[in-house]
Amino acid sequence: MNTLDIQGLRITLPGTARPVLDGIDLTVGAGETVALVGESGSGKTLTSRSALRLLPPAAVTEGTVRVDGHDVLTMDARQLRALRTGTVAMIFQDPRAAINPLRRIGDFLTESVRLTKVMNRTEATVRAGELLDAVGLDASALRKYPGQVSGGMLQRVMIAAALMGDPALLLADEPTTALDVTTQAEVIALLSRLRERFGTGLLFVTHDLGLAAAISDRVYVMYAGRIAESGPAEVLFRHPRHPYTAALLASTPPMEGPTGRLAAIDGQPPDLRQELKGCAFAARCPLATGLCEQEAPSALPAPGGPEHQAACHHSDRLEGSAVDA
């Protein structure tokens, strides 16, 4: 059974002419890392937060968001509280915005499990010390204030906090964006070790395609509230079958060799205040035809196999039709 199973998720907000999320299908298995990539405003963060039902006020939802087989969108307050303090945890992009600077790190780590009576103070303190050790910090950090530790150390504290309730699913929303390259690598290695150790499913939201390729088992590419392409990371990044994925890769600096001039994606994503009849990417796509402007494409298997899917009318026109298994 999947740790996270989103099917047909559609979210509409007041003042918009179309859904901000439009028919999202996404799964995360136990012990699996799934990356969610795309431009700002594509719906990545909202998709990840739906697993905790952290949705904007007045949001109208359709579809299902199941965590460990239970639909988050239909939970009552008690069930939702249990979900947020145990089953699912989130690592936010900026740890300093999520931690009260006037309280000690130990209080931050233990508060939720103590208030929900999952653990008493002694049990919670012991657990917090064990998790700080697991993320490479000394238990003495429990007595420190957030301002007394570095950004990298504080992000490790956030990871420890997320693991306090033994979550089945970990949501990481751009957790390394504010960190230097060395600290970023350390945090990514740490997340990989913890995933293997605890068997936790990880949904990793990022703009960094290189990072997504390095750490993920599978990838979902989002554009304008829809899934443009999905599949195993190695296959998708080597043989993209959607023009948007190909354009993102072309605009990414190579790890080796000369950089040269990077490609740019002309235009802007469609405005939410305007209805969208066809493909969301049609206005920016070099392969677009009249069909693309009139009819939204369905996700269909690409040559790489049934796990590799692309929502494009013309995916067969992309170069490299043969995909390595």
Q: How confident is the model at residue 258 (pLDDT cuts 50, 70, 90)?
A: low
Q: How confident is the model at residue 261 (pLDDT cuts 50, 70, 90)?
A: confident
**Per the domain annotation, does 261 fall within a domain?**
yes
List, edge to edge, every strand of the sheet that includes 33-37. Answer: 88-91, 169-173, 201-206, 33-37, 218-223, 226-232, 305-310, 300-302
**Per the domain annotation, does 266 fall within a domain?**
yes
Average pLDDT rounded to a whole number, residues 257-285: 86
Asked if residues 31 and 200 have their Cβ atoms less than 8 Å apart, the reply is yes
- pTM for the structure as a whole: 0.89
**Per the domain annotation, does 160 fall within a domain?**
no
Please write the tens of the pLDDT for every residue from 111-156: 988 887 778 999 999 999 998 988 889 999 999 999 999 888 898 8
Contacts of 77 (CB under 8 A, 6+ apart): none
3-state SS string for 204-224: EEECCHHHHHHHCCEEEEEEC
Please give the pLDDT value at position 318: 82
Question: Bridge-partner residues for 141, per DSSP?
Answer: none
* Number of domains within the chain: 1
The residue type found at 146 is P
- Using CA atoms, how far apart are residues 88 and 221, in angstroms rounded to an integer? 23
**Per the domain annotation, does 321 fall within a domain?**
yes
Q: What is the mean pLDDT of the chain?
A: 89
- Using CA atoms, how far apart are residues 262 and 259, in angstroms rounded to an integer? 7
**Per the domain annotation, does 83 fall within a domain?**
no
Q: Please report where in the chains the tokens 């079958």 appear, as a residue.
A: 241
**Per the domain annotation, does 312 fall within a domain?**
yes
Q: Torsion angle of alpha carbons 242, 248, 250, 252, nearest 10°?
A: -150
- Residue 297's domain spans which residues? 244-325
